[in-house]
Amino acid sequence: MTDFLVKRDELRECRLAESAAPEPGPGEALLRVESFGLTANNITYAVFGEAMSSWNFFPAEDGWGRVPMWGFATVERSAADGIAEGTRVFGYLPPSSHLLVAPVANAGGFVDAAPHRAALPSAYQGYLANDTDPFYRADTEEIQMLLRPLFFTSFLIDDQLDDEGLLGRGPIVISSASSKTAIAAAFLLSRREGAELIGLTSARNREFVEGLGIYGRTVAYEEIETLERGPATLVDIAGDGALRRAVHTHYGDALVQSLTVGVTHWEELGAGGDAELPGPTPSFFFAPDRVTKRSEDWGRDGLEGRVSDAWHPFCEWTGGWLETIRGAGFEALRDAYLEVIEGGVAPNRAHVLSL
């Protein structure tokens, strides 16, 4: 068994660890991890490894972590009831060749009921069998690995902004507008009547963002001053402290809502100082909380159905411009990981890897 390990307190340091593949005991199954997507979202899991307990999903030796990924795996050995060998699933996986799980079968596949995962959010515990998964299509596997969890978040952001009546109260200003999460949210919002979208991005990604045709206006980070003052909502995916301060200062008390979604600019998190921010206190958007709310409102199947209905047109649209970069083995994974951590991947490209 091989694991890609990252040093928890020095995220640029990584190495390979090799060990004997575990033997599944009663009630356990061994998954063979096939491939997974790697974007800034996975770097955020590492940045908040302690704060969000992301290191706890796939434990590693002291001081090291396995950064969670989303991808496909196959049940290689099973000693668990109702879990057939050969079953292929989509879910939350370590960057490893294998994963030992304690599966409890359900209608869509199984959940990993391993004790060390019990206290972690349920949104990350499910493994969905390809043959019954409403999101699954054989010809979109790469896009599923890269964008499916991000799209789920974007669906929930679009839904929350509508639910809270924010679409009719000035523009929605989205930072890191070139990120996949921002693009998916803007794609959905652009289909809502009356929604006005402003994409904030770095100068180097501006042309790409404009070319997508989903934001009404694209503005570089240096040009915030050119935005018309008045009511607006910030959906902050960059997480750059100085940028957030600039937007809050620009709109002041007219800023209706400030939603903190991501930290693509992870090394600028603390920039911007400690002084009180003008306008509303930012609220943290945590997808699992909205999943809980909408599962109560619509039922879990109702939520999944709505998201998968919205997913397929998005998936088709993305296929028209997103280029995947395939890599296999430790060196390919290390190079891709370091490229993503430095923000070096062009926004129309994304890595799909296997160990």
Ligand X SMILES: NC(=O)c1ccc[n+]([C@@H]2O[C@H](COP(=O)([O-])OP(=O)(O)OC[C@H]3O[C@@H](n4cnc5c(N)ncnc54)[C@H](OP(=O)(O)O)[C@@H]3O)[C@@H](O)[C@H]2O)c1
- Contact residues: ligand X, CB under 6 A: 39-41, 44, 150, 153, 176-181, 201-202, 205, 237-238, 261-265, 285-287, 342-343, 347
- Which residue type does 182 have? A
Edge-to-edge strand list for the sheet holding 255-260: 217-220, 197-201, 172-174, 232-236, 255-260, 283-284
Chain Cα centroid distance, residue 213? 22
Q: How far is the CB of 205 from ligand X (least distance, A)?
A: 4
Measured from the CB atom, the residue of 94 and 199 that comes closer to ligand X is: 199
Measured from the CB atom, the residue of 32 and 293 that comes closer to ligand X is: 293
Q: How far is the CB of 316 from ligand X (least distance, A)?
A: 19
Measured from the CB atom, the residue of 88 and 351 that comes closer to ligand X is: 351
Q: How far is the CB of 241 from ligand X (least distance, A)?
A: 13
Measured from the CB atom, the residue of 110 and 151 that comes closer to ligand X is: 151
User: CB neighbours of 103 closer than 8 A, spacing ≥ 6?
Assistant: 28, 29, 78, 80, 83, 110, 111, 112, 113, 127
Measured from the CB atom, the residue of 39 and 97 that comes closer to ligand X is: 39
- Do residues 351 and 38 make contact, with C-beta atoms less than 8 angstroms apart? yes
| Residue 152 to residue 70: CA distance in whole angstroms | 13
Give residue 104's region: left, alpha or beta (phi > 0; psi -120 to 50).
Answer: beta
Q: How far is the CB of 286 from ligand X (least distance, A)?
A: 5
Measured from the CB atom, the residue of 101 and 172 that comes closer to ligand X is: 172
Q: How far is the CB of 268 from ligand X (least distance, A)?
A: 8
Q: How far is the CB of 84 from ligand X (least distance, A)?
A: 31
| Residue 130 to residue 352: CA distance in whole angstroms | 18
